[in-house]
Chain A
């Protein structure tokens, strides 16, 4: 028994091996190194020099541009995530009411922009379309929010799958009781869909905090005009790779990681009040 168990564990580790190697070599090890670097002054070329918590102190005490980038990023998250989710849900509802071949076609069509994803070409096209908008500080962020919202395909497909899981008889029963479309949406669809909604919300929030490519391309890599699109990641990149302050950039990366973890934890805490898993009383 014990031997058989050990053997099956061995097999499990064997199968895990390739993933484990990758995770340790490409994720865990670099993360540990970057944690160390965040306490150093490191210019990419010479040996890192230990400076204690200086980098972290400077972030919050003596770098207005850093705080500005936090503001830009929060604004971006606050606009792009709800907009994208509402769009995704609306289109999913629409597609769900279509039956047959039409649904497959439109599902692919609406998903297409997301396939292009974080592609540089797409961001360049966006830049060309919104030529003067991206060159004025008051509108530049809006264009990037729109670009992100337009790529609602991934959450949309997940919503659609969730919608198709909702038992038809719930709707039929409600219809018999005289519930209208809004009533059914509010009292059946949304509660039944809430685990999917929660999943999408968490995923999209994490993605939005890490947005980089669109802002980089649309602003020509500078977060401009006048720092209006200076995303957190963009500033991190600038500090690390164009100003050679890799220790500082590492500290920024760790603050971002902790912030995302905290926000995700808060979302999970609130989920008990609005997410309905169907198996609870």
Chain B
């Protein structure tokens, strides 16, 4: 606490006059760092009175570092934010209310107005969506061809997926799994739930029943029983960056993911992979939605509000910044910039844009941001599923424990 006081005193001495210094942090990998730093440099050259220092982490460590920094009174000024953590932070009043700036300093004329709402909580604009992404199956088309099975298209079902993945796995003699085990990943579960007309959360409570999760875990078990998915030891590698996943390590032929992560996959497996739609047992619903892949917020305690807001607007709405950033974080939120980027596509950006175009008609609107405690439940699902996969618990045991801890986390 003494440290907090000291740090606050240290920060307090610097205000007004001359150069403004702000700190901007995000999660991502090297390819994202390259374009982000380039955009920030452009911002600095346009605003010589503002100095921006940047740093980044992988997703796994990002929020641990962020919470420690904020608690220590050393909050960054501009913060890349995740949909899942929005309530966690905004609900604790650490994010600046951007409402007075929206439509003014932060331009929104060229935006899909509905999408702006994904950064709103209780009527306050606590974040602005940076870009749009959607869930996808990333796959290795060569392995599909070699096994003589069709590539993912809209209309394929979970049963199709299991059969196809099984054939691929058999065709490689079991060396490469047909799919990456999806049972512990809340994002997949959410997509699957939405295909059934349900949602992860309803009014701040779990939006599904025990039977739903049981059926989902059973589906994942069916894949394992059919020799159509990754072995247990690989389940634990899923929360690392794209390059660490079974797909990135060439140990799986298809993997659940987000299209905005394609850049990461593409650095380790250049031009080898494609993006396809999720399998679904419903003709109408694909389950994927226009998700804010990342949002951007300012700290409520920033000493340089104007500079922070200026940087946010620049990253969201500047044409040249948009060109530099491309689709690295997903489809740009500003529709004019999205169009401009679409004119001149190559490499990873092209794959991402084409995928979103192919599923656009099927994409739903984003649900309300998950409640506080979702970050905990996300990990809980992974852990309980791990215990099932390693044979430490039966599905029913894991389910009971999951339920108890999940309800506790939402309290």
Contacts and interface: CB of A to CB of B under 8 A. Distances in A.
B163 to A, nearest CB: 28
Given A45-B92, A132-B233, A221 B61 contact: yes
Interface in A99-158: 132, 135-137
Interface residues of A, number: 26
A30 interface: yes
A43 B89 CA distance: 10
Contacts of B409: 243
Contacts of B387: 226-227
Contact of A220 (B60, B94, B392, B401): B60
B386 A226 contact: yes
B64 A221 contact: yes
Contact of B236 (A33, A43, A220, A246): A220
A135 B236 contact: yes
B8 interface: no
A43 B92 contact: yes
Interface string A236-274: 000001111010000000000000000000000000000
Contact of B390 (A30, A65, A226, A242): A226
Interface string A1-35: 00000000000000000000000010001100100
Contacts of A136: 232-233, 390
Given A137-B390, A226-B383, A226-B392, A46 B67 contact: no
B67 A241 contact: yes
Nearest to A135: B233
A242 B387 CA distance: 21
A33 B386 CA distance: 37
Contacts of B42: none
Interface in B66-80: 67-68, 70-71
A170 B387 CA distance: 57
Contacts of B2: 25, 29-30, 33
B63 interface: yes
A43 B405 CA distance: 18
Given A44-B67, A243-B376, A244-B88, A135 B234 contact: yes
20 contacts: A29-B1, A29-B2, A30-B1, A30-B2, A30-B3, A33-B1, A44-B67, A44-B70, A46-B92, A64-B401, A137-B386, A220-B240, A222-B239, A224-B236, A225-B232, A226-B386, A226-B392, A227-B383, A242-B376, A246-B71
Interface of B: 1-3, 60-61, 63-64, 67-68, 70-71, 88, 92-94, 232-237, 239-240, 375-376, 379, 383, 386-387, 390, 392, 401, 405, 409
Please give me the 4 A-B residue pairs with the lowest Cβ-Cβ distance, nearest first: A44-B71, A135-B233, A45-B92, A225-B236
